[in-house]
């Protein structure tokens, strides 16, 4: 939707509300609802939000330890600058449109470097300076449960009932029963301008997958975040709850957000070389080598919470080893489309809880470092990557990933030391919060027996 389209639809009474949204550290939409006519008055200027929105957690707490903001600094404002190129209707909400905003410093009006969209933009600019365009795609996996989020919360998140009761991977009959939720998700997102290709049942009871067409990296992250938001709202409207928690039960398969990656030059896939083995170019070798060499450095951006690491388990289709293989779903990096113009690398490490801007930016930083340093690509792994569980194990805990982030000279150079410190603090806060809570597991295990 262009700005002129918005004006026309407001004048015709078709739109009366505009959502002005930023993306927070957790990858959620935050912002304000404007009366449509009032939005027209500020659309090409700015509005404001509290700067704690980039120094908080899932519970909207105000942790200490962030350099960017604090109680002593008074929690001032950020500028929300509408990016009018992101204007679009919200078809499942009556009379509503949405615009993503960039986050600027209130005093200098310069971009806030650790704002998620800005982190990704910086890495895209780095690739463009090399004459390359990052093209990516993400897969969204999630679970649907009976009852709304509010009803499940009121029940203490106990006795959770998935929408189905058996593995529905590629299952047409079971997913037909879920069409009251999934059909409007597909149709509304497509009408919103998010190029949804399709949905399918995933490898667990109540698990779904949503596939969106590849695009440039920023559009891919925008599409991902809008789709994730839409899934939750549309499921709620239909009396169900959607969760992107990577591992909701220890006996159930987890949810991922696989990321497909390639670099294009002059409108052609630069990862493709028809004369090379697997049609894989030398540039692709170096990019993949960077992904593998720095895998631990950026894991915290792919798996940002305590729960994220419960997903990495043998035989679960979630990887444990930072190795690559050809069309092999046990490896963290799967070469897809070998021998074709669509050759690309799929990273299978990210969980469904990732912030796509941060995850895409971190992987892009590693891949570009691999190109700049001409890193050699290790030999492809053959067979079951779960069998060599200690070869190049993905960080096993959030603490390990946080430590690897803090030690990463590559990411400090690529993202900036301020950004690395900011997200290291976010991980540290998650650890502090978890460590102070007594869990149901501890009580059940030790109440009588300890």
| DSSP string for 31-47 | EEEEEHHHHHHHTTS-E
Do 163 and 101 fall into the same domain?
no
CATH code of the domain covering residue 11: 3.10.20.70
Least confident of 257-266, 324-333, 379-388: 379-388
- pLDDT band of 203, cuts 50, 70, 90: confident
Question: In this structure, is residue 282 part of a structural domain?
Answer: yes
Do 88 and 177 fall into the same domain?
no
Do 383 and 320 fall into the same domain?
yes
Do 151 and 60 fall into the same domain?
no
pLDDT of 428:
97
Question: In this structure, is residue 348 part of a structural domain?
Answer: yes
Do 50 and 143 fall into the same domain?
no
Is residue 159 within 8 A of residue 220, CB to CB? The reply is no
**Is the model's pLDDT at 384 over the cut of 80?**
yes
Question: Residue 290's domain spans which residues?
Answer: 123-436
pLDDT of 391:
66
Between CA 226 and CA 232 the distance in angstroms is 10
Q: What's the mean pLDDT in 394-403?
A: 95
Domain boundary among 63, 79, 112: 112
Between CA 450 and CA 444 the distance in angstroms is 10
pLDDT of 111:
94
Least confident of 38-47, 125-134, 295-304: 38-47
Query: Tokens 């004006």 appear where?
Result: 7
pTM of the model: 0.95
Determine how many CB atoms are found less than 10 A away from the CB of residue 109: 10
pLDDT tens, residue by residue, 180-191? 999 999 999 999
pLDDT of 397:
96
Average pLDDT of the chain is 94
pLDDT tens, residue by residue, 49-84? 989 999 999 999 999 999 888 787 778 899 999 999
Domain boundary among 47, 78, 112: 112
Question: In this structure, is residue 117 part of a structural domain?
Answer: no
pLDDT of 389:
64
Question: In this structure, is residue 442 part of a structural domain?
Answer: no
- pLDDT band of 318, cuts 50, 70, 90: confident
Question: In this structure, is residue 444 part of a structural domain?
Answer: no
Q: What's the mean pLDDT in 267-283?
A: 95
- pLDDT band of 327, cuts 50, 70, 90: confident
**Is the model's pLDDT at 390 over the cut of 80?**
no
Do 37 and 147 fall into the same domain?
no
**Is the model's pLDDT at 207 over the cut of 70?**
yes
Is residue 278 within 8 A of residue 355, CB to CB? The reply is no
SS3 345: strand
Helices marked H in 107-211? 116-129, 149-154, 172-177, 179-192
Do 72 and 169 fall into the same domain?
no
Question: In this structure, is residue 441 part of a structural domain?
Answer: no
Do 11 and 74 fall into the same domain?
yes
Do 40 and 164 fall into the same domain?
no
Question: In this structure, is residue 60 part of a structural domain?
Answer: yes
Do 68 and 155 fall into the same domain?
no
Output b/e per residue, 233-253; b: 16+ Cβ within 10 A.
Answer: ebbeeeebbbbbbbbbeeebb
Do 234 and 360 fall into the same domain?
yes
CATH code of the domain covering residue 418: 3.30.590.10
Structural domains of the chain, count = 2
Residue in 246, 254, 138, 267 with CA at minimum distance from that of residue 196: 138
Domain boundary among 112, 136, 169: 112
321 - beta bridge partners?
393
Do 82 and 136 fall into the same domain?
no
Question: In this structure, is residue 276 part of a structural domain?
Answer: yes
Between CA 112 and CA 124 the distance in angstroms is 16
């Amino acid at each position: 939707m262009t700005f002129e389209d918005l004006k026309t639809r407001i004048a015709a009474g078709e739109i009366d509300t505009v959502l002005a949204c930023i993306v927070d550290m957790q990858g959620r939409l935050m912002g304000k609802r404007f009366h449509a006519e009032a939005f027209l008055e500020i659309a090409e200027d700015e509005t404001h939000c509290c700067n704690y929105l980039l120094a908080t957690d899932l519970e909207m707490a105000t942790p200490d330890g962030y350099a960017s903001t604090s109680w002593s600094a008074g929690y001032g404002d950020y500028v929300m600058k509408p990016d009018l190129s992101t204007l679009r209707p919200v078809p499942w909400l009556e009379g509503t449109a949405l615009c993503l905003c960039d986050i600027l410093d209130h005093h200098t009006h310069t971009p806030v470097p650790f704002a998620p969209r800005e982190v990704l933009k910086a890495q895209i600019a780095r690739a463009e300076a090399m004459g390359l365009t990052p093209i990516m795609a993400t897969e969204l996996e999630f679970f649907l449960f009976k009852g709304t989020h509010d009803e499940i919360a009121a029940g203490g998140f106990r006795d959770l009932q998935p929408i189905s009761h058996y593995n529905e991977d590629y299952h047409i009959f079971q997913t037909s029963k879920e069409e009251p939720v999934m059909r409007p998700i597909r149709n509304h997102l497509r009408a919103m301008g998010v190029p949804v290709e399709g949905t399918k049942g995933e490898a667990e009871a109540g698990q779904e997958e949503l596939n969106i067409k590849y695009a440039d990296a920023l559009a891919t992250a925008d599409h991902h975040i809008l789709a994730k938001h839409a899934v939750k709202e549309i499921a709620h409207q239909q009396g169900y709850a959607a969760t992107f928690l990577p591992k909701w039960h220890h006996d159930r398969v987890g949810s991922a957000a696989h990321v497909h990656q390639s670099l294009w030059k002059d409108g052609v896939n630069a990862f493709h070389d028809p004369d090379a083995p697997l049609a894989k170019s030398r540039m692709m070798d170096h990019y993949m080598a960077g992904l593998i060499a720095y895998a631990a450095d950026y894991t915290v951006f792919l798996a940002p919470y305590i729960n994220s690491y419960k997903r990495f388990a043998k035989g679960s289709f979630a990887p444990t080893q930072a190795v690559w293989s050809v069309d092999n779903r046990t490896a963290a990096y799967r070469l897809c489309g070998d021998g074709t113009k669509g050759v690309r690398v799929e990273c299978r490490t990210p969980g469904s809880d990732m912030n796509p801007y941060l995850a895409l930016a971190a992987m892009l930083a590693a891949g570009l470092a691999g190109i700049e340093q001409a890193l050699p690509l290790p030999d492809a792994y053959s067979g079951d990557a779960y069998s060599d569980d200690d070869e190049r194990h993905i960080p096993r805990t959030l603490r390990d990933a946080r430590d690897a982030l803090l030690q990463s000279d590559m990411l400090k150079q690529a993202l900036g030391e301020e950004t690395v410190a900011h997200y290291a603090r976010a991980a540290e806060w998650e650890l502090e919060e978890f460590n102070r809570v007594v869990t149901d597991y501890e009580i059940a295990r030790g109440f009588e027996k300890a």
